[in-house]
Structure 1
């Protein structure tokens, strides 16, 4: 059955959904609306893992090959703590420039006769005439906000401050650096996304942010200070910002967004408009693309729109549970960094890799490290960790619900 679909927001999710719908049925009428000019995307590089690439190849080998060809990859991580460094092997990771990713997906969409309307903002007052309107317009989605009560939107701001920067330093591994200052710790995550650029996300606690004067510094002053603090990993390369019109630095507090329901009539949420997960697990783009996959498949398998949207929401909410839990514990690990930073570098890096664990916050770090090392050799301890972790997570969640009722 031919359907008319309007994708609001020209990010990865909207573009990939348009590709999948056209591949399912070329007669579908699909338009992507993006309020900004073509090529003016924000951001630096995005990360993804081999599992996503396999899913992309299964659904559209042509766009998957293009994405893989323009990505860089790594299979290890490096952590710098003060003047010490440790390196560990890990899963194969990939980085690609956000601008390049959108360019590749837009080209593929055009080749399938998707209409791309740039500099065409959509508001709740001028919704397109379509069978389905997909709100892929980000965490600040105007379409979701107009029906916030219906969607049951809830936003929680994180404690720490962070800023997304670029750099001309090309990291050959996923790089962590932790620097101690007179006002507390400040740290960064760095990863390459092209032959001459890397992303550098810098984070610190509120007292460190104000103590260093980053709350008062304009972008130029802030970048100069950060370049000095992270000189050990930048090797003389510059940090690159994205200042606002008044020259201020773009420091943020991460906002975790959840929605009770994801659809309202023929309007459905996707990507960051529906959910956000803390950047420290590097899953935002992957989850948005997986939303697009699930929505396209639900629309293919269910002729009636309400059934299709209900199937999409059930599937994605179930799949997101473990990811959202991992993101929550990962954010808490960094918010409680002093608990781990004094460990020997090898142990600290090992627990950095275990930061998604619901068990870790409740076990002394060195004891957890010894248990984890033993669990790598003994099946009975691995089973114990798998059994105990979810039970603790459920109890913590139940206590949180009870405290809200009070």
Structure 2
């Protein structure tokens, strides 16, 4: 093939040398707009895993890169006069200029043609079978073919400047400095024997308030030298961006995501297979993409995607792009179209995974003021686990001493003198103490007749109480017959139902150390529907429907659901009084905890969300007005709920619909309920509108919990895709929530908490009570998981040795 790489950065150079190595008959040329030796930036960082991939792809260049690397294991976090160090992270730093020099020499050894000072404005005059658009962040080719690539560029909120210093850092160092304008942070690491990268970052508003926008380049550098004088030990900061003036050296990071990575300059199928000479056909006998004259233009590196520098993956992704495309071309010899399809299909998944982690990391650094409210030890832990790529147990593998010390520190804060995983530390709210941080979510079971909880709920909730969780929630329980979602929903509108619940509560208290919570709610516009297994979720009953209420007239399913009536004052008084009566019955039944359901599009949620509240009176319009009725109900309930028992509120922190409730709104919502007497916010999202477009992923709602907890100063429950002990430990340890609600895993395994304790090797006793009837199964389970962990560690160690890690 004739291959042209536009851009002489790591992606273009590495792909060029890999293709020339793969087949010396390839004609490979690299066109670079700068002069040989010109580069901007300082050092780049790789993980040990990336090094293993380079060794496998091209041992010769990998050996040179390894010889030039500065390797370190530690991450050091400086904040508030304290330093926290964690080891075992396996980073390597190398100067960007040195890396490019190594790749350039290797290209020349293999016969790649390097042409410098070639500022390619357009690909129109390039004759090649394959064009690699590795022309960087501001890719001209990506812009030219934007209709194909469909780039999404998100300009992030922080300003940063890329500097260097002669101060050599022995660890990857994060230094945080609070100023009168806000927080600044430095990311620093050495990349050769005499120089370190020193990146200074701060939110846009702080950057402007500090006056950096008006400063010259020299003044801005002097500002940073003074601010970070302690960690710099008197060393100066340097800039190598001579082409930038004044505040232009401070930039905002653009997150680039492209839907498609390959553009064909001409439509496929221009020539039939019969008209293509045999020598131009692929191994299958079909013409390759290049034989069709289409000359694919393939994005690579920063032209295709970016990942925030805080996870050090930009160069890693560029090199791995090159490795994967070269591999796919070799695997589909003669069929370039198939190779490019495979490249885009597999590579885009891995890149998206890294970009999601980078987004988490980016947002963490954009909100340092929120995290800085944590103690330095927890702040550092939160930083280490910010991307969700490093979990609690992964951190333990890296540095068991650090994790052990941190667990002891965290346990002492909860009154324990032991080393205890975070999920098994106690939690106290008002006069109630939970033995651990695991909550069985309120999960609709639709298994009552006339709202009466009976044997099914006795078994269902009792089994989960025996399963080790600290708190077990009853499902949303309705305050009147017309408050139900379905005819199968439980109620608490009469004394017979109260007695049914009392039997269940007494069973939980008698046979377990778990506490049990009641969640009261009103279905509102989502009521009078079928049980899901009787014809579909959210569909109205075929007969016997009851009238619906909402903040404003609405149909939850447009054209299908009943239209809910806007509540008048009489309706509001009746519903409020129903909540109060149900609260009194819940207290009499002996529940330990009360929660008011104000989420998921149900009645009280319909007042809060602007999507469903179109009222023109005092209960509509501003968020303050929309909260007026839910707060009225809450205050009335709190007045009759025993003062020593906690009361929480479940909210939807994000409607996932333009014009709906936002995470920023959720902070105001939580603050209002806190002022009304709420002890905790149960932070969920969505289910307000069928137009929602959530961004799913593991622990995907936890950032909403963290936002509320650390800005409002109220305890929270994190919910959503929390399925492992590792998730719970990471969330609790990092201060993202105080409790974790686990739903579907508890449906599959009532003893989820006991099982997960054995899985991570925790045998108790703190926070973990095995029923004495089950003790014979405890040791067997613990031995089996211990055997599995040992086998897994041995396999991982063998794999790492094979890769040279």
Is TM > 0.5 for Structure 1 vs Structure 2?
yes
- Mark the CA change 1:136 to 1:127 in structure 2 (over 3 Å): closer, same or farther: farther
Change (3 A) 1:257 1:378: farther
In structure 1, distance between residues paired with 2:244 and 2:353? 39
Query: Could you tell me which residue of structure 1 aligns to residue 40 of structure 2?
Result: 42
Q: Which has more radius of gyration? A: 2
- Uncovered stretches (5+) of structure 2, i.e. residues with no partner: 265-295, 389-697, 719-726, 735-752, 761-805
2:220 alignment counterpart = 222
Query: Equivalences for 1:122-201 in 2 at 5 Å?
Result: 122-124=120-122, 126-201=124-199
| Aligned ranges 1:366-377 → 2 under 5 Å | 371-372=729-730
Determine which of 313, 318, 328 is the counterpart of 2:344.
Answer: 313
Whole-Å separation in 2 of the counterparts to 1:382 and 1:89: 26
Residues 138/214 of structure 1: CA separation in 2 closer, same or farther (3 Å cut): same
Name 1:207's counterpart in structure 2. Answer: 205
Seen in structure 2, the aligned counterparts of structure 1 residues 381 and 202 have a Cα distance that, compared at 3 Å, is farther
Give the number of the structure with larger relative contact order, counting CA–CA contacts within 8 Å between residues 6 or more apart: 1
Secondary structure, in 3 states, of the residue corresponding to 1:350? helix
Match of 2:311 among 271, 281, 290: 281
Alignment of 1:270 with 2:330, yes or no, is no
Residues 245 and 324 of structure 1: CA distance in aligned 2, closer, same or farther (over 3 Å): closer
Q: CA deviation at 1:193?
A: 0.3
TM-score by length of 2: 0.46
Shift of the alpha carbon at 1:381? 6.5
Once the two structures are superposed, what CA deviation does each residue of 1:301-330 show, in whole Å capped at 9, x if it has no partner?
A: 222222111111011111122211101111
Partner residue in 2 for 1:115: 113
Alignment correspondent of 1:380: 756
Answer with 366-375 or 17-26: which moved more.
Answer: 366-375
- Residue 300 of structure 1 and its aligned partner are, at CA, apart by 1.1
Q: 1:375 to 1:345 in 2, by over 3 A?
A: closer
Comparing 235-244 and 73-82, the one that deviates more: 235-244
Distance 1:181 1:379, change over 3 A: farther
Equivalent-residue separation in structure 1 for 2:168 and 2:758 (angstroms): 37
State how far apart, in whole Å, the 1-side matches of 2:123 and 2:51 are: 38
- Scaled by the length of structure 1, the TM-score of the pair is 0.89
Greater mean deviation of Cα atoms: 150-159 or 227-236: 150-159
SS in 1 for 2:90: strand
> What secondary structure, in the 3-state scheme, does the structure 2 residue paired with 1:101 have?
helix
Task: Identify if the C-alpha distance between structure 1 residues 252 and 246 changes in structure 2 by more than 3 Å, giving closer, same or farther.
Answer: closer
Deviations 1:130-188 (A, max 9, x none): 10000000011111111111211111110111111111111110000000100111111
Q: Which region of structure 1 is more displaced relative to structure 2, 242-251 or 365-374? A: 365-374
| Gap runs ≥5 in structure 1 | 385-406
Other-structure match for 2:243: 244
Q: Do the aligned residues in 2 keep the contact of 1:165 with 1:239 (CA within 8 Å)?
A: yes
Query: What SS does the aligned partner of 2:192 have?
Result: coil
Q: Which residue of 2 aligns with 1:351?
A: 382
**CA offset digits 1:226-285 (Å, max 9, x no partner):** 100000110011111224354444111110111111111111100000011111111000
Q: Helix, strand or coil for the counterpart of 1:39?
A: coil
The whole-number CA distance in structure 1 between the counterparts of 2:759 and 2:235 is: 46
1:340 to 371, 378, 394: 371
**What is the total number of aligned residue pairs between the two structures?**
382
Contact preservation (8 Å) 2:75, 2:89: no
Residue matched to 1:300: 330
